[in-house]
Amino acid sequence: MYRDKTCGELRIEDCGKEVTLSGWVQRTRKMGGMTFVDIRDRYGITQVVFNNEVNEELCESANKLGREFVIQVKGTVAERSSKNNNIPTGEIEIIASALTILNKSDVPPFTIEDNTDGGDDLRMKYRYLDLRRPAVRSNIELRHKMAFEIRRYLDSENFLEIETPILVKSTPEGARDFIVPSRMNPGEFYALPQSPQLFKQLLMVSGFDRYFQIAKCFRDEDLRADRQPEFTQIDCEMSYVEQDDVIMMFEGLVKHIFKYVKGIEFNDKFQRITWHDAMKYYGSDKPDMRFDMKFVELTDLVKGKGFAVMDDAELTVGICAKGCAGYTRKQTDELTDFVKRPQIGAKGLVWVKIDEQGGIKSSVGKFFTDEQIKEWADRMGAENGDLLLIMSGDAMKTRKMLCELRLEMGNRMGLRDKNVFAPLWVVDFPLFEWDEETQRYYAMHHPFTSPNPEDIPLLTTDPGKVRATAYDIVVNGTELGGGSIRIHDSELQDQMFEILGFTKEKAQEQFGFLMSAFRYGAPPHGGLALGFDRFVSILAGLDSIRDVIAFPKNNSGRDVMNESPSPIDPAQIDELNLAITLPQE
Amino acid sequence: MYRDKTCGELRIEDCGKEVTLSGWVQRTRKMGGMTFVDIRDRYGITQVVFNNEVNEELCESANKLGREFVIQVKGTVAERSSKNNNIPTGEIEIIASALTILNKSDVPPFTIEDNTDGGDDLRMKYRYLDLRRPAVRSNIELRHKMAFEIRRYLDSENFLEIETPILVKSTPEGARDFIVPSRMNPGEFYALPQSPQLFKQLLMVSGFDRYFQIAKCFRDEDLRADRQPEFTQIDCEMSYVEQDDVIMMFEGLVKHIFKYVKGIEFNDKFQRITWHDAMKYYGSDKPDMRFDMKFVELTDLVKGKGFAVMDDAELTVGICAKGCAGYTRKQTDELTDFVKRPQIGAKGLVWVKIDEQGGIKSSVGKFFTDEQIKEWADRMGAENGDLLLIMSGDAMKTRKMLCELRLEMGNRMGLRDKNVFAPLWVVDFPLFEWDEETQRYYAMHHPFTSPNPEDIPLLTTDPGKVRATAYDIVVNGTELGGGSIRIHDSELQDQMFEILGFTKEKAQEQFGFLMSAFRYGAPPHGGLALGFDRFVSILAGLDSIRDVIAFPKNNSGRDVMNESPSPIDPAQIDELNLAITLPQE
């Protein structure tokens, strides 16, 4: 062992001990006849002192150390004269008696400190150096801790972690599967799994009634800002359960993680909201519940008063921003500009200020009397000093726009604290989505999702109204995961396939082995999957999942550190019975 | 919830309780007016009784149940009149008051019991049914438990589990990488990792001084009997360590697993043997230490006595089989046939029987006097009643042949009990292997393996003699895993590449980003990887890893359950800028 202590553990009570530390040179400072070297490892930073008068040669070596050199230091722990209260080892220093350079370092391309001068691209290229920065390291440590606690909770609840294959069957419709040519089976391909969905359902058929896996999943999608071609899911499935059993089990998991990882205890049950109410009151199926500011519909109050925008609108709906009546014209203009941005696309915004004396000022004073506006304010529960923000138009579109505005107001009003967590279950999702373009229904979750038993008669009469036994868990406006109770009855499954436009042949081709398995006694079952990267990023207070992944890829699916993907040896392509058909330029 | 108790938990003290169970019908028996149904789940089997006199209709339904039907039963726990001591629930039964069929089942293709009538292929095709058998299920449960305990131990030792990518860079020499075409980067490919080797070394450069991962690895090899294209490794790496630190840490891990999973405590340090001694005394770098039967070399004693076989042989070496002097001629002939099999390829076998009175009988009585043979016996520590088995020839080949014979004798003498575990460290492996065909050295482990510091001068003079700082852990004759201390010094690394015949360009091309990383302060580091599938199979007492994998592939790399790999949609091939070039027949 090159050390007997880490750089993070020595304290005032260790004074006098002879110790050996190893680590990286964080910085060196020369002051008079003394040289101070900060030595860093995963556990912390410790100050080492070299005294020119005591040992000139040793001090001379210390003076030659560069940033990020790897060194071993032997010495005695001593109390510092000027203490540093910002670090746990700040009361002590090591009086060096020996110094060994274990490895040198080139000058790093950026400073390895929390406030680095390295840009994004440079830090990605030298990811192994970026990972040395405490801010990045702590995300990886958090990820480990969370994975460990997830396993501890699920193991205690009798779940078995079962590895499912990475080389799986390609499904004809999965045009976005990554595929893997098989050398031993020429002309044939494996696919990488988009999720272990089929396998976990098979495991239920096998009788493993509580399965989980922290599983790598793959999607060959065009990557949006915060997607990765490979990502990690906490994938779970249970047998002999109903929706509430699954929800309570994984509510328990989320509570466990918050408690043991963040020290935050949730004593009450998480809020639940139906999908319908989430859309109606927040304009989103993943509302941020850290603040209220619920939508209030005003359509009936505003129609027929001669204001064409509202007269023609399917829906007029608003939010009440508490205490914001003092917003200046500039501020309300900013809000109007915000909703008019192409990403949101609103035509305009109506505002009403109710001043501290109850006086009303609004952008639609020409069309409505104060009494009429007072009615709006009453319905919206507005008080003196509040600001009302109101939008009109097509119902679903307007709700989505107002959702964005609500979040913006949450930001402006400081209501979206990263240290506050508001978990929420969204339930009663529609089973189907109607697609105008192809004129058919699609499964909102997947084709194995069970309809709400009460709604089964609607399957034949009004499929669009059927509620799924599906649920999402949302934290702070981000979807953490979701799941459903699955269909275990093969007749109901056939009916689903029919509604979804699968022929018997196609269903057989795609899901044949699952359907066969279901003939041999499938138990009632359901489950869910949580996005692990997302879960970590929420607890880390980060917006992106990239910083909680040790070696992420960029938006083109490239690892810029090792330059993959890359061209490969043509002989290898040959051996796979493949040819590259790039257009010659 | 469809149940409030499992089928494995009810005991005599639960009598009188109203319970609800769900599970699969294991079997039904009609006896007079009673119908007995054994209901099974992951936790056990419980007997349910239906009484025709009490409830005819209910009993009638029970009579119609088929094997593997999924049912829910409500009833009262009662003491059995005829108890079954073979199962934990054998003292009680459920007097049924309600029965619901949750799902029917076709007649399964084989019986779902430990002694099944299903052949290998059938059970693989219906793997989801095979997994219902308790013998198979218990392997998966064992695997979960081991993974959990591995994580518990390593977490307590401050290791971080860090996920490394599955989509990695293809290396030109890795002709056996699985590759993944990138749609977003036409003509370019990812590879699936054969191990996280480069990433774990990068993580050491990053300062994560204790890393582990239970990691999926991939090899597109022609599969031998017990290989899988995807397999799982317990992959570990540590910084600031020397060989003994790594060995002691993972000896601790193996002890932890045996203790907490099998209830077996190893109080002593594991045995260690050098590679040289392992070859000399056991003819193998993974000797089975459950029994002794060490090789004893007789070359000097047997030469020049006129027996051409031994006169011409580089090596004559034997083993002493305690108490086997009573072997019949038929038995010694069997042993001779055993070593003459083409898999072993010996020309013959010399045996010597020392009877209970010390009389000597041997297959080479013509060539050697009893006194001469007595000398052999003395050197081999033979006593009256022992059987000596002796082979001659080329040193290395003869050792390997005698190794097989030693194992065979171990089997015959009952010395290879599956419930006895003999872990062993093999150390001081050679750094290089000389390949006659290509007339060059290859790295025995990998090109980053550090030479034993004492042997560095030999690198220039006699590379074949250089010992590596590499170690394997062997249990019962099976290699469980191995590792090495890595080179962290770039000059030494360059020297290694030179000996291995890598040009600077080629080394840069293959390992460039690792070599770059090493320029920024690589700490001394080393690690190891254990085969997780193998580890589980050893503890399960199984010869094959296949049964400890939930969904294994067969020897052609096929999953016969879901029929993968499979042809894919030509449009998808197009989209990847590829074409299939199968020869048209």
Chain B environment of A133 (Cβ under 8 Å): none
C-alpha angle with apex B245: B240 to B251, nearest 5 degrees?
Answer: 145
The per-residue pLDDT for range B251-276, each reduced to its tens digit, is 999 999 999 999 999 999 999 999 99
Asked if B564 and A522 come within 8 Å (Cβ–Cβ), the reply is no
Q: What is the pLDDT of residue B584?
A: 58
Q: Which residue of B has its CA nearest to A572?
A: B175
Name the residue with tokens 């009429």: A372
Q: Work out the minimum CA distance from A4 to partner chain B, whole angstroms.
A: 10
- Measured distance CA(A577)–CA(B230) in Å, rounded: 21
- Mean per-residue pLDDT for B304-330? 95
- Measured distance CA(B507)–CA(B171) in Å, rounded: 11
Asked if B240 and A3 come within 8 Å (Cβ–Cβ), the reply is yes
Q: Work out the minimum CA distance from A179 to partner chain B, whole angstroms.
A: 6
Neighbours of B15 (CB within 10 A): 14
Q: Work out the minimum CA distance from B326 to partner chain A, whole angstroms.
A: 50
Range with the lowest mean pLDDT among A253-262, A441-450, B87-96, B148-157?
A441-450
Q: Which residue of A has its CA nearest to B189?
A: A565
Chain A environment of B185 (Cβ under 8 Å): 556-558, 565
Q: Which residue of A has its CA nearest to B209?
A: A42
Out of B161, B245, B575, the one facing A1 most closely (by C-beta) is: B245
Out of B41, B549, B576, the one facing A209 most closely (by C-beta) is: B41
Q: What is the pLDDT of residue A585?
A: 52
> Which residues, at least 6 apart from A109, have a Cβ–Cβ distance to it below 8 Å?
A118, A122, A126, A129
Asked if A129 and B578 come within 8 Å (Cβ–Cβ), the reply is no
Asked if A205 and B128 come within 8 Å (Cβ–Cβ), the reply is yes
Asked if A567 and B102 come within 8 Å (Cβ–Cβ), the reply is no
The per-residue pLDDT for range B342-400, each reduced to its tens digit, is 999 999 999 999 999 999 999 999 999 999 999 999 999 999 999 999 999 999 999 99
Q: Which residue of B has its CA nearest to A204?
A: B128
Asked if B169 and A206 come within 8 Å (Cβ–Cβ), the reply is no
Residue type, A85: N
Prediction pTM value: 0.95
Out of A141, A551, A556, the one facing B199 most closely (by C-beta) is: A551
Q: What is the dihedral of CA A395, A401, A404, A409, to 10 degrees?
A: -90
Q: What is the pLDDT of residue B34?
A: 94
Backbone angles phi, psi at B420, to 5 degrees: -110, 135
Backbone angles phi, psi at A468, to 5 degrees: -90, 155
Higher pLDDT, B77 or A460: B77
Q: Which residue of B has its CA nearest to A238?
A: B1
- pLDDT, averaged per 10 consecutive residues of chain A (585 residues), comes to 96 97 96 94 97 93 96 97 94 97 95 88 94 95 98 98 95 76 91 94 97 96 82 98 97 98 97 97 97 97 93 97 96 97 95 95 94 96 97 96 98 96 97 88 88 94 94 97 94 89 82 87 97 97 93 91 88 87 69
Asked if B104 and A521 come within 8 Å (Cβ–Cβ), the reply is yes
Out of B126, B564, B579, the one facing A190 most closely (by C-beta) is: B564
Out of B144, B165, B572, the one facing A551 most closely (by C-beta) is: B165
If you count them, how many residues does chain A have? 585
Cα dist. B238→A120, A135, B308 in Å?
Answer: 29, 21, 54
Asked if A571 and B160 come within 8 Å (Cβ–Cβ), the reply is no
Backbone angles phi, psi at A100, to 5 degrees: -125, 130
C-alpha angle with apex A42: A41 to A46, nearest 5 degrees?
Answer: 40
- Long-range contacts, stretch A327-333, CB < 8 angstroms, 24+ apart: A327/A351, A327/A353, A327/A387, A332/A363, A332/A387
Chain A environment of B163 (Cβ under 8 Å): 143, 216, 232, 549-550
Q: What is the pLDDT of residue A173?
A: 60
At B585, is the pLDDT very low, low, confident or very high (cuts 50, 70, 90)?
Answer: low
Out of A102, A127, A147, the one facing B161 most closely (by C-beta) is: A147
Token digits of residue B196: 């996280």
Asked if A175 and B575 come within 8 Å (Cβ–Cβ), the reply is yes
Asked if B240 and A166 come within 8 Å (Cβ–Cβ), the reply is no
Out of A164, A180, A198, the one facing B178 most closely (by C-beta) is: A180
Out of A155, A166, A205, the one facing B216 most closely (by C-beta) is: A166
Q: Work out the minimum CA distance from B10 to partner chain A, whole angstroms.
A: 17
Q: Work out the minimum CA distance from B181 to partner chain A, whole angstroms.
A: 7
Residue A539 DSSP SS3:
helix
Percent of chain B with pLDDT over 90: 81
- Measured distance CA(A26)–CA(A24) in Å, rounded: 6
Q: What is the pLDDT of residue A510?
A: 77
Residue type, A440: R
Q: What is the dihedral of CA A182, A185, A187, A193, to 10 degrees?
A: -40
Domains of chain B (ranges, CATH numbers): 12-103 (2.40.50.140), 136-273+423-549 (3.30.930.10), 292-412 (3.30.1360.30)
Name the residue with tokens 């171990």: B410
Q: What is the pLDDT of residue A568?
A: 87
Q: Which residue of B has its CA nearest to A128?
A: B206
Dihedral sign, Cα of residue A134, residue A139, residue A143, residue A148: positive
Q: Which residue of B has its CA nearest to A147?
A: B161
Paired strand residues for B92: B79
Out of A40, A103, A220, the one facing B522 most closely (by C-beta) is: A103
Q: What is the pLDDT of residue B184?
A: 87
Chain B environment of A489 (Cβ under 8 Å): 103
Q: Which residue of B has its CA nearest to A580?
A: B578
Range with the lowest mean pLDDT among B138-147, B158-167, B303-312?
B303-312
Comparing CA positions, the residue from A423, A478, A150 lying closest to residue A268 is: A423
Out of B104, B137, B207, the one facing A42 most closely (by C-beta) is: B207
Dihedral sign, Cα of residue A122, residue A127, residue A130, residue A135: positive
The per-residue pLDDT for range A356-396, each reduced to its tens digit, is 999 999 999 999 999 999 999 999 999 999 999 999 999 99
Chain B environment of A488 (Cβ under 8 Å): 102-103
Comparing CA positions, the residue from B203, B146, B253 lying closest to residue A155 is: B146
Q: What is the pLDDT of residue B511?
A: 80
Q: What is the pLDDT of residue B173?
A: 60
Q: What is the pLDDT of residue B572?
A: 85
Q: Work out the minimum CA distance from B199 to partner chain A, whole angstroms.
A: 9
Q: Which residue of B has its CA nearest to A137?
A: B208
Q: Work out the minimum CA distance from A210 to partner chain B, whole angstroms.
A: 9
Confidence check: pLDDT of B18 > 80: yes
Q: For residue B385, with 0-12 CB atoms within 10 Å meaning exposed, 13-18 middle and 19 or more buried, which class applies?
A: middle
Asked if A42 and B163 come within 8 Å (Cβ–Cβ), the reply is no
Token digits of residue A191: 């696919």
Chain B environment of A563 (Cβ under 8 Å): 169, 513
The per-residue pLDDT for range B224-239, each reduced to its tens digit, is 768 899 999 999 999 9
Task: Choose the mutation target among B566, B576, B577, B584 for the interface with A, i.e. most A CBs under 10 Å.
Answer: B566
Q: Which residue of A has its CA nearest to B180?
A: A180
Out of B209, B230, B579, the one facing A42 most closely (by C-beta) is: B209
Q: What is the pLDDT of residue A504?
A: 83
Asked if A556 and B184 come within 8 Å (Cβ–Cβ), the reply is yes
Confidence check: pLDDT of B160 > 90: yes
Question: Could you tell me if B565 and B557 are in contact, meaning their C-beta atoms sit under 8 angstroms apart?
Answer: yes
Task: Choose the mutation target among A143, A170, A249, A562 for the interface with B, i.e. most B CBs under 10 Å.
Answer: A562
Residue A401 DSSP SS3:
helix
Distance of CA B249 to the CA centre of its chain: 21
- Average pLDDT along chain B: 94
Dihedral sign, Cα of residue A24, residue A25, residue A27, residue A29: positive
Asked if B179 and A180 come within 8 Å (Cβ–Cβ), the reply is yes
Backbone angles phi, psi at A383, to 5 degrees: -120, 170
- Measured distance CA(B36)–CA(B82) in Å, rounded: 13
Structure ipTM: 0.95
Count chain A–chain B contacts defined by CB atoms under 8 A: 361
The per-residue pLDDT for range B434-452, each reduced to its tens digit, is 888 888 888 888 889 999 9
Q: Work out the minimum CA distance from B494 to partner chain A, whole angstroms.
A: 15
Question: Could you tell me if A49 and A73 are in contact, meaning their C-beta atoms sit under 8 angstroms apart?
Answer: no
Any alpha helices (H) in B258-385, and if so which ranges? 275-282, 299-302, 308-311, 329-340, 370-379
Question: Could you tell me if B298 and B393 are in contact, meaning their C-beta atoms sit under 8 angstroms apart?
Answer: no
Comparing CA positions, the residue from B414, B416, B408 lying closest to residue B475 is: B416
- Measured distance CA(B14)–CA(A189) in Å, rounded: 54
Q: What is the pLDDT of residue B117?
A: 86
Asked if A185 and B558 come within 8 Å (Cβ–Cβ), the reply is yes
Task: Choose the mutation target among B177, B486, B520, B573 for the interface with A, i.e. most A CBs under 10 Å.
Answer: B520
